[in-house]
Structure 1
Amino acid sequence: MKQQSQWLLYSTQFTHLLNPDMFDSDYWQQRNGIVGSAQGRGTTYFVACEHEQWVLRHYYRGGLIGKLINDSYVFTGVANTRAIKEHLLLTQLQQWQLPAPRPIACRIKRKGLCYSADIISERINNAEDLYTRLLREPVSAALWQQIGKTIAAFHKRGVYHHDLNIHNILLDDNDKVWLIDFDQGAIKEGTHWQQDNMARLLRSFHKEKTKHPAIHWQDANWQLLEQSYQQALK
């Protein structure tokens, strides 16, 4: 039998809720705590705890290897796990007061030479992703500019978002812009990576425009976003 170990990391304000079962959807199901879900590589659960709502996400691999291995990663130390890295990055973003979710907790489960992981983070109240908004209606020029400024605020701090795309930009009911899902994100030196990050975002707009020609996005919207981004970087 392969040796199994488990590590938990909690933000200090939530240590009174310490419970390894909180990383399993069954725990919340039994307490009628699941208030919603979203589908991606796997199911992300929105759960209610005390007076807050949280996001419970299991780490899944993407691409072809994800179909073979699914949610298993090579273990090279707790500090190198994806959940720990994301939790610590989110903690740093909070210290910089950047608009990203608060980290709540994460769990690492090692089995032999591999591990799987889960993370719980804050759910942004009354928010929807940019993709959903654009399917329904256009957004203002001022909001396109604000999206550019927000991304620039992260980049000026050296924050690399590995999967910057139309689905990982949230707009709340006050039109505040948030970035979410910092799996494989990092703090990087220099600026050489920034345009690649923006190019990834642009590709996601083109991809959704091809799939949904009626989506409310045009090249002129990107120009507003990009111009605002460049000005905010100065």
Structure 2
Amino acid sequence: MTETSGQAVRVNVGKSGMLYDAAFAIEPDMRVFDPGFYADRARPVSAGGRNAAWFVHDRWGNGVLRKYRRGGLVARLNKSHYVWSGAENTRSFAEFRLLQFMHARGLPVPRVVAAGYTRFCCFYQAALITETLPDTRPLASVLKDMPASADFSELARACADSIYLMHQANVWHADLNAFNILVDGNNKAWLIDFDKGRQLVMTASLCDDNLNRLKRSLEKVLRQPGLVFWEHLRRFYIKNQ
């Protein structure tokens, strides 16, 4: 069964379901969520991704295929299965809808290509494909490669601006960290990985929670230089208010 709503096309096949953006000439086939489908046109993402993300290339373009994986202690017992409560409640469909909402408003996020799930009785597994952001690197990598004497005010401002725009659109990021901000060659900061992200009324407390999550990540990855960078970012963020 196929349904179309705006740019989103929904395809249901047995116990599997798929959403894709009609602007992309992607095959409405669940195999597109299997890195093996792309053969030598798939390569693992080295930074982040919990060993479950691949750069892929197909006729529709270049993208990042990410299979949903659990983190923390629960991952030792269950790496990839989630409790089923309806197709629209799957992590992949929810993130697809959120990314389409954000991209339509011009926010610095990648275009979403497709989302899929496969149900197993009371559980499901899921995957998402987003368009590749060319010439980008994780914020953590960019900061690590900068000399100690470098002035990173421009980069801090770019990150602060992107986070502020997200919050102004009433979007909460569930895991804002130093690897979920990508920086391109023009020092533009892009936000990625909106798994469990939601549209909320972004109170000052929620905004601070996002910023403090990023602070902990920067401190963990870069120690004192990470905290110095975060202080710059925080000041620019406050200036936007």
- The two structures share one fold, judged by TM-score above 0.5: yes
CA contact (8 A) 1:35 1:48 kept: no
- Structure 2 unmatched ranges of 5 or more: 1-13
1:29-44 correspondence to structure 2 within 5 Å: 29=39, 32-38=40-46, 40-44=49-53
Look up the match of 1:143: 155
1:17 and 1:190, CA in 2 relative to 1: closer, same or farther beyond 3 A? Answer: same
1:66-89 Cα offsets, whole Å, 9 max, x none, are 110110000011111100000000
* TM-superposed deviation, 1:16: 5.2
**Deviates most, 20-29 or 35-44:** 35-44
Q: 1:49 to 1:64 in 2, by over 3 A?
A: same
1:207 is matched with 220
Q: 2:131 matched to 1:122?
A: yes
* Aligned residue type for 2:22: T
Deviation digits for residues 31-65 of structure 1 (CA, Å, limit 9, x no counterpart): x2115533532331001123621000000111111
Q: Give the ranges of 4+ consecutive aligned residues of structure 1 lying more than 3 Å apart after TM superposition.
A: none
Overall identity of the aligned pairs, in %: 32
**In the TM superposition, what is the alpha-carbon distance from 1:224 to its structure 2 partner?**
1.7
Question: Normalising to structure 2: TM-score of the pair?
Answer: 0.87
Residue 86 (structure 2) aligns with: 77
Q: Indicate conservation of the 8 Å contact 1:42/1:58, yes or no.
A: no
Partner of 1:87: 96
* 1:158-202 Cα deviation digits (max 9, x unpaired): 110100000111111111110000000011114131101111000
Q: Could you tell me which of 60, 63, 68 is aligned with 1:54?
A: 63
Match of 2:182 in 1: 170
Q: For structure 1, which runs of at least 5 residues remain unmatched after alignment? A: none
Q: Higher relative contact order by CA 8 Å / sep ≥ 6: 1 or 2?
A: 1
Aligned-pair distance for 1:153?
Answer: 0.7
The alpha carbon displacement at 1:108 in A equals 0.8
